[in-house]
Chains A and B, each alone.
Chain A
Amino acid sequence: MSAEIILEVKNLVKHYPLTSRGIFLKKEVGVVHAVDNVSFSVRKGETFGLVGESGCGKTSTARAILYLDPPTSGEIYFEGQEIGRIFKSKNHQDLLKLRRKMQYVFQNPYASLDPRMTVADIIMEPFVIHKHVPKEKWHNRLYELLELVGLEEYHAERYPHEFSGGQRQRICIARALAVEPKLLIADEPVASLDVSVRAQILNLLQELQQKFGITYLYISHDLSTVRHICHRVAVMYLGKFVEIAETSELFNSPLHPYTQALLSAIPVPDPENKRSRIVLPGEVPSPINPPKGCRFHPRCIYAKKHNCVENVPELVDVGKGHWVACNKVKR
């Protein structure tokens, strides 16, 4: 794999203000620490997985990268360009060019398609906006895209409500591909689909990657699909990365206690598999008031031994591109 880096995120922070109720006097009463100081880089042509439980900041990270919600601080480089500057300059042409290269497939295909537009309207809208396809070729391109994602020509004149969840997700993917993006952020693309349909969509994503060399940022809470599709995986907990590694490395030798628990918690579809399950006590703390020190320490069995209440662990390279943020591993 080429080591060329397509996306680099440096010290990304995303805080959402919490305001008190009231129309005229809105006071900031707190801050939701959705993403705290996250850095990573995605190589060209790879699938980079972002894993964690709900509320850990996966989607916030993705939305901040695309400036759908501008990040609080931090730098994002896409193909070597600092994109924050482009978004702040409000130069419409540059912005459009950038948007064309980065696309987003949303979590819920039931909510992300306009119910009043036909499939043809939905998929051809990017042509209207970006004007990268001459008008006489719009329909050809539309049919190409439909074929690419496994839909038929006659589907073009239908409305989203006439499709099943899996088909809708295909429409969303076709729409994202319409602008020939270099980076596709797929935010839980299969979470709301049935198992049999899930496999169809995952295989489609892989096929498209082989054909066009698209880079994916794949967000999921489902580790089994991550193992299937990702080359490298980052595990998030309460707005921070706890571990980054190659997929096989992460699944075979997880180092962070949270990753270990997360992996052991997945039910295995095999009645005779008597794997010991690490059951974490308690629940994920609130990101409004995250625990001091290591954010995982209230649920971690090693916390007392390493004084994790005070020591904030940094992401450390332990070799083979495997990074861990844990006080236990450092020593």
Chain B
Amino acid sequence: MAPREILKIENLTTYFYTWAGVVKAVDGISLDVREGETLGLVGESGSGKSVTALSILRIVPMPGRIIGGKIIYKGENLLEKTEDEMQQIRGKEIAYISQDPATSLNPVFSIADQLTEVIRRHQNVTKEEALKKAIELFRLVEIADPEIKIWNYPHQLSGGMKQRIAIARALSCQPNLLLADEPTTNLDVTIQAQILELMKNLKKLGMSMILITHDMGVVAGVADRINVMYAGRVCEVASTKTIFRNPVHPYSRALLEAVSHVTVKRVQPKIIPGAIPNLISPPSGCRFHPRCDFAAAECAAVVPQLVEIEPEHYVACIRAKEFMENVKEVKL
């Protein structure tokens, strides 16, 4: 039996209507998250990772709008829900950790206020009980002296500490799905190591997670499956091991080869020529074709669809079959 899906996105399209033109930030992506798994969403900045997460919660900022598609969470389409129903889902069912912990906390309220607010909003508890719960959460995310720290204001805490609190707040109502948007990007490596260790432990709580990141090292350690995105579309979906061992899409390969490595000495990282395209007028056909080493004439004309080339391995590339036949292991 196939594992149950907790979230299924079909053909999600989110556009931003700016003065300069329509930015096609997310252009028809489909993905699914299974129960208890961590799905990594990987891509460079501007590839639509964060907009996907914001779309799931329906909090896309103006002038963005969700144009079409379906977001099916536990059998129900989130895009058909009313605003009131969405508020019941946000924070309780699906929680979000934003990229920048410093700006996601309100500077004029103490941490205790901000944590108990979420707990009291979704659970029928008294103030004292909420506070007790908040302190327990502090223990869960391994903050020392929770009884004292909880009365601090955000400016009294360091970046790593704020990120822990953001995680604690996201976990406060035991969500079924956690959207973590670059949770470690702004942190130093030693603090990043602490947070990643914490996230690994949280996986044991059994919730599903979408981990958004551009750091291949971070996904390698945490994610079960990976979704590679480029310019608003999904290029490749497979298990973490497959993506790292047998990537098929030229963009996934290029992305892996561009990563400079600590464990290997002074190898020239491969360059992806050019830059990410402008999403107001993206390239026709496959959006990666102007930067692709293997682009054929059709690549500019045909939009490639995600095709299952082997069990559990989907690729959106018209030459995928060809690449499959002569896959070389990517040398790491």
Partners in one complex: yes
Check B270–A199 contact: CB distance below 8 A: yes
Residues of B within 8 A of A262 (CB): 189-190
Most buried by A among B192, B214, B272: B272
For the complex, would chain A's binding face be called helix, strand, loop or mixed by DSSP majority?
A: helix
Residue in A closest to B160 when the chains form the complex, CB atoms:
A283
CA–CA, A268 to B222, complex, Å?
Answer: 11
Which B residues lie at the A interface, using CB under 8 A?
44-45, 158, 160-161, 188-194, 196-197, 214-221, 240-241, 244, 254-256, 258-263, 265-272, 275-276, 332
Is the CB of A197 closer than 8 A to any CB of chain B? yes
Give bound CA distance, A261 to B188, whole Å: 12
Does A268 contact B220, Cβ atoms closer than 8 Å? yes
* B271 & A200 in contact (Cβ 8 Å cutoff): yes
Q: Which residues of B contact A167 (CB under 8 A)?
A: 275
Asked if B262 and A268 sit within 8 Å, CB to CB, the answer is yes
Flag if B188 contacts A53 (CB, 8 Å): yes
Within 8 A of B (CB), among A237-285: 247-248, 251, 261-273, 277-280, 283-284
Given the complex of chains A and B, what is the CA–CA distance between A184 and B44 in angstroms? 28
CA separation between A129 and B193, bound complex, in Å? 47
Q: How many A-B residue pairs have CB under 8 A?
A: 127
| Extra 17 A-B pairs, beta carbons < 8 Å, given A221-B189, A272-B241 | A53-B189, A195-B255, A198-B258, A199-B258, A199-B272, A202-B260, A224-B259, A247-B266, A263-B262, A265-B190, A267-B193, A267-B215, A269-B259, A269-B332, A271-B240, A271-B241, A277-B193
Asked if B189 and A266 sit within 8 Å, CB to CB, the answer is yes
Q: Is the CB of A267 within 8 A of B196?
A: yes
Within 8 Å by CB of B45, from A194, A251, A265, A268, lies A194
Write out the residue numbers on chain A whose beta carbons fall within 8 Å of the beta carbon of B332.
269-270
Least distance between A188 CB and chain B CB atoms (Å): 13
> Would you give 8 A-B contacts (Cβ < 8 Å), ordered by A?
A199-B272, A200-B271, A224-B260, A227-B261, A262-B190, A265-B190, A269-B216, A270-B263
The interface size of chain A toward B, counting residues with CB under 8 Å, comes to 42
CB B264 to nearest CB in A, in angstroms, measures 8
Whether the pair B269, A194 counts as a contact (CB closer than 8 A) is no
Query: Within 8 Å CB of B259, what residues of A?
Result: 195, 224, 269
Q: Are A266 and B217 in contact (CB under 8 A)?
A: yes
**Distance between Cα atoms of A53 and B158 in the complex (Å):** 13
**Interface residues, chain A, with chain B CB atoms under 8 Å away:** 53-54, 164, 166-167, 194-200, 202-203, 221, 223-225, 227-228, 247-248, 251, 261-273, 277-280, 283-284
Residues B261 and A265 in contact, CB atoms below 8 Å apart: no
Residues of A within 8 A of B189 (CB): 53, 221, 223, 262, 265-266
Q: Which residue of A lies closest to B158 (CB)?
A: A283
Neighbouring B residues of A54 by C-beta, 8 Å = 188
Residue numbers in B under 8 Å from A284 (CB-CB): 188
CB pair A194–B276 under 8 Å, yes or no, is: yes
Residues of B close to A280: CB separation below 8 A: 190, 193-194
| CB pair A279 B268 closer than 8 Å | no
Enumerate chain A residues within 8 angstroms of B217, measured Cβ to Cβ: 266-269
Closest to B264 in A: A227
Residues of the B chain whose Cβ atoms lie less than 8 Å from the Cβ of A202:
260, 269
Give the interface centre of A223, A251, A265, A280 by most chain B CB atoms within 10 Å: A265
Tell me the nearest residue of chain A to B197, going by C-beta: A279
Asked if A195 contacts B271 (CB within 8 A), the reply is no
Tell me if A279 and B194 are in contact (CB < 8 A).
Answer: yes
Given contacts A227-B266, A269-B244, contact A198 B260 (CB under 8 A): yes
The answer to whether B271 and A203 touch across the interface, beta carbons within 8 angstroms, is: yes
Q: How far apart sit A263 and B270, CA to CA, in the bound complex (Å)?
A: 23
- Please report the C-alpha to C-alpha distance between residue A143 and residue B270 in the assembled complex, in whole angstroms: 27
Q: In the complex, A277→B195 CA distance in Å?
A: 12
Contacts of B161 in A (CB 8 A): 283
Q: Which of A164, A203, A266, A277 is within 8 Å of B262, CB to CB? A: A266
